[in-house]
Structure 1
Amino acid sequence: MTVSARPPRTSRGAVLVVGGTGFVGSAVVRELLSRGASTGSDIRVLSSRPAPATSVVGIRHVQADLTRPDTLRGVCEGVTSLLHVASYVGRDEERCEAVNHRGTQVLLGEARRAGVQRFAYVSTTSVYGTGPHRGAREGELTPHPESAASASRLRAEQAVLDAGGIVLRPHLVYGQGDVWVVPAIARLLARVPTWPAEALPRLSMISVNGLARCAVSLVHGPEAPHGPDLYHAADPEPVQMDRLLQVLHRILGLPLPAYSVSAVEHRSLVARAMPELSPHQYALLTQDHWYDSTRLWTALADGPGPGLEHRFAECRSWYMAHLTRTGLL
């Protein structure tokens, strides 16, 4: 696999999106394209996948692999801002380390050699481990990752911060391309149509478009703050689970559960009906996991935009198609 040889420098610089074909990366690219007239920069998308057959004006595709340092040589030439949103979240420990940590280190080396001015990395609050977590600010919780993926992403975070970059930690991200949060809830309700009334947690959530807007604003443009810094990336107000279930019912037609079992009974039912849901994943849906994001919105001098119901309405068609295709509707 080879990289396009050292693209020419542009007078106003380029922005490189690493992982720009994935869930978050695609939203970042859409956000950059929507700002195209004001940024005046070209957009480069780095992915291990071949470039699509059809191209989009303003986007240049670079094929490279985070696990192969030789393919990353020169990818940052002419780049002024780098958004790293690629990650591997499977259970292969060696691949976690190769993609998330060592791949990030190689990118940082390339960015330093090319004189990249700003570098941001989208990580996850899963580096804290299982909660409950209630309103913690950045720096108040000691990270305690419970998987190889989260541990390697925590090491990647530290490398980014040591290099003067910015780290974003979102919790639950939803919207176009989400194949975990809403699909997991839909599958859970289909297999276990009840919920414990004492397990309706408050959750930090952000739409993928909102996360993309935050990431781009933090690294691209004359007013972007400089690192090193770390921010919780979430809407200012956490979402109560019963409200989320009501929104999913109204907009997507998911069934409302009966609140008729205890937490112990529910956990037992879910373990039998949905064994693929790990204890950590189950806890994310049934325990408080919300984080103070005041510093992010202060740094951006901006608000989060439309609320939860509006955001879900925007991506209703995508969710309906995905849930229908996967047999969840």
Structure 2
Amino acid sequence: MYIEQGYRGNLGLWKYFVIPLLFIGLIVINYISVIYSPVSTEDLMAQMIADWGTHFVFVLVVGPLAFGLLFVLGWTRLVHPQSIRSLTTSRHKVDWGRIGFAFLVWGGLTAALTFIDVWLNPDDFQWNFVWQEFIKLAILALLLIPMQTSFEEYLFRGHMMQGLGILARNRWVPLVITSTLFGLMHLGNPEVEKLGYGVLVFYIGTGFFLGIITLMDEGLELALGFHAANNLITALLVTADWTAFQTDSIYKDISQPVLNWELLIPVFVIYPILLWVFARKYGWSDWKGKLFGRVLSKEEAEAVLSEE
């Protein structure tokens, strides 16, 4: 009943597409500026960091997306109008335990895999830790990254998922569209410029994973926790000269970036294992219905919701 939570607002389907279309327009403009720029994204980032410092550039990159969260939530609350709770979950209240569990699982796994990689490939990493700069990074990251990742989740897996689901009257269309758009959102990232379009397999695969756990769990909580852990732990532990997040992290990856099979491990190995873990913990069932079934009509949904 997560998608059907969209009926709790004053339904007007046009309200669901204003923000996504604006955001997609910005993505297209950013991508065009990247491919036609005479300066590579990597060189541009390096120049900005040399002129303004890593912390200012970090805020410049993350800040607009972080404060985009306020815009999405404000639009939902004032224009739909719909409660933030119903945009977040189909449960009677937001399950913070789910957010924390997903954060701890993926954050712990990300940290463990990072340290294993450093141990196995010490020549690929450089010790980058400076206490004063790391503290500044940690404060900025703790403030901005959860807002940035929540913006993306509320936009793609929340706002767009509910709107497209109600429009298409099924679940697979919003899953496919939002997951693909989530991946394409990263087209302007320096990682794509450096590694090639094959890296989109990871981004789109991650979009599908987040969409699946949202539909199966009937809420955004797991996706919110996972996404926050992914970006926050990565920003604090490892940086590189060719990534979107260039920070004063603990390590710096100095290896030559190469697109190889290791990129596929999270998508085709780790994510399926996490799906199994979440399914066992939260008792998921009816995978076919929740991922490919139909969305109830407004009348049917109101009848069900009135009984809750």
**Relative to total residues, which structure has the larger helix share, 1 or 2?**
2
Q: TM-score, normalised by structure 1?
A: 0.27
Q: TM-score, normalised by structure 2?
A: 0.29
**Relative to total residues, which structure has the larger strand share, 1 or 2?**
1
